[in-house]
Amino acid sequence: MNKDLGVFETADERIARGRGQNQFVDTMKTLTSYAARKLDTKEGKTDIRDVLRDMKAFAPEEPVRPAPDDLGDYDRLLVDLYRGDLKERKDKVKAFKEGQTTMWAVILGQTSRKMLSELEATDNYRTALEASDILALIKGIKIVSYKFDGHRHKPSTLLNANRDLINYEQGTQHLDD
C-alpha cells in the first residue's frame, strides 16, 4: 500500500484513527493526480483521470456515419474520414481498458483490509471486478467509507442519516447569524 496516495478506509476505521470526513475526497484527488502523472497515453491517461475526477462513466463519442448523396453514392473522402474516426475510437476504448485495469490494481492497493472485505460483500462487486470497472469500484468505496449500509432497511438508514445531519453541530451558533 502506497500511503502517499492516501488510504480508503471504512467509516469505523477512519473515526477510530481520528481521520477527518474528507479522507475519501483527499484520496480521490491524489489518485486523480497519480493517474495524470503515472499512466501513459497507451493506458488512456486523460480518460482515466476524467473518470476519477468527474465520477462519470467513460463514453467516447460515436463517429457520425456519412450519408449518401442523391444518387446513393458515398463521398470517398467522408468514408475514409469515418473509418479513421472508427479506428481512433477503437484505439481510445482499448487504451481506456488498459488504464482501467492498471488503476483497478492501484485503487484496491489503497484500500484497508476491512474496506476490501466490506466491498467484496456488496452486490455489484463481482460485476465490477469482472469488468475492472473503476467507477463502480470508487462508488462502492464511497458508500462504504461514508457508512451507508445497503443491506439495512433503506428508509430507516435514510432516516438515521437525516437525524445525524440535523443533530450535527459546528460549535456555538446564534440565531442572529
The 10s digit of each residue's pLDDT in 78-87 is 999 999 999 9
What dihedral do alpha carbons 156, 162, 166, 168 form, nearest 10°?
A: 90
| Mean pLDDT score of the chain | 83
Mean pLDDT within 11-24: 75
What residue spans of 110-153 are helical by DSSP H?
113-120, 125-131, 134-145
Q: What is the pLDDT of residues 32-61, one digit of tens each?
A: 888 888 888 777 888 998 998 899 999 999
How many Cβ atoms from other residues are within 10 Å of residue 53's Cβ? 15
pLDDT surpasses 90 at 167: no
Angle in degrees, CA 124, 130, 136, rounded to 5: 45
Q: Which three cell numbers stand for residue 123?
A: 452486490
**Can you tell me which residue has the cell 435514510?**
158
